[in-house]
């Protein structure tokens, strides 16, 4: 009877061990939570991060939305040339802006 009851427990233990090993193999040591190193975890999870968009910083790095800066130009009244926002004189005709 003892052998009969121990087989399910051993099977459950083997399933849990196999799932743990599969997680470490798929995500790497840092990605599975065994090693608490954020830089290494980011490297281990990079394929899943780009697919699911899980880590905000990595998703933002893939886009250029946050790096674009609005460019403001001022038109000269004299020659209608576009000049930089903080220019005091026109680059084309030299007229005061």
Other CB atoms within a 10 A radius of the CB of residue 54 amount to 11
pLDDT score of 2: 62
Give the pLDDT score at 49: 59
| Residue in 45, 75, 72 with CA at minimum distance from that of residue 59 | 45
Strand partners, 96: 89
Q: Which residue ranges in the chain fall short of pLDDT 50?
A: 1
Residues 6+ apart with CB under 8 A from 37: 30
Report the pLDDT value the prediction gives residue 14, as an integer from 0 to 100: 93
pLDDT (0 to 100) of residue 23:
79
CB distance 48 to 38 below 8 Å: no
Domain residue spans of the chain: 2-63, 65-97
Output the pLDDT for position 52.
57
Q: Which residues pair with 44 in a beta bridge?
A: none
Rounded Cα–Cα distance for residues 9 and 57 (Å): 43
């Amino acid at each position: 009877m003892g052998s009969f009851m121990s087989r399910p427990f051993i099977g459950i233990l083997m399933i849990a061990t196999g799932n743990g090993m599969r997680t470490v193999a798929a995500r790497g040591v840092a990605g599975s939570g065994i090693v608490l190193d954020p830089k290494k975890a980011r490297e281990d999870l990079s394929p899943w991060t780009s697919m699911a968009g899980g880590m905000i910083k990595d998703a933002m790095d893939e886009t250029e939305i946050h790096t674009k800066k609005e460019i403001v130009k001022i038109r000269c009244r004299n020659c209608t040339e576009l000049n930089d926002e903080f220019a005091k004189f026109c680059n084309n005709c030299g007229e005061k802006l």
